[in-house]
Every structure is written in structure tokens, then in C-alpha cells.
Structure 1
Amino acid sequence: MFNHSMSFSVGEDNQTLRNTIYKFAQKEIAPLADKVDKENTFPNN
């Protein structure tokens, strides 16, 4: 009776945004998180 399928794929714009955020997090946040973990401190800035 119903032959409609739902598409849960991410659009190209969303995928581009996701990749941009991922690259930013890897470049800017991951090194800081690693330092925080190693030194067991949290930066004041």
C-alpha cells in the first residue's frame, strides 16, 4: 500500500558544515584538551 521510503541522508551543505566543524575541533580544541588532560588543569582564558 505504501511505497514511500524515508531518506535520512545528510545534505551536501550539512556535510560541508560538519567537516568544517570537525577540522576546527581537531586543530583548535583537541590540542588544548590534550594539554588539560595531561596537566590536570583548566586554562583561565
Structure 2
Amino acid sequence: MEFDFLNFQPLSQKLLTQFFDLKYVFFKSLVNFFFNSISSIQAPKN
């Protein structure tokens, strides 16, 4: 059975880009949260 790469590729490309967008947004918010907690810990208490 021949696999149809020409029809499959745009779909997989779309899924991959959506997946990486989700991971990127999640990772960015995680890093932001991490740096915020570190800076709030290291901030001098007035």
C-alpha cells in the first residue's frame, strides 16, 4: 500500500507547528514564572 506523502505532509506540518506553539507558550510562561519567583526572593525587603 502506497503512502500518500503529498497529502500527509501539510497536515503533519500544521499539527507540528500547533504542537510547538503550545510547547513554546507553556515554556515561556514557565520561565517567566521561574524568574519572577527568583527575583521576588532575591528582592531586598523594604
TM-score of the aligned structures, taking structure 2 as reference length: 0.43
TM-score of the aligned structures, taking structure 1 as reference length: 0.44
The structure, 1 or 2, with the larger RCO (C-alpha pairs under 8 Å, 6+ apart) is 1
- Structure ID, larger Rg: 2
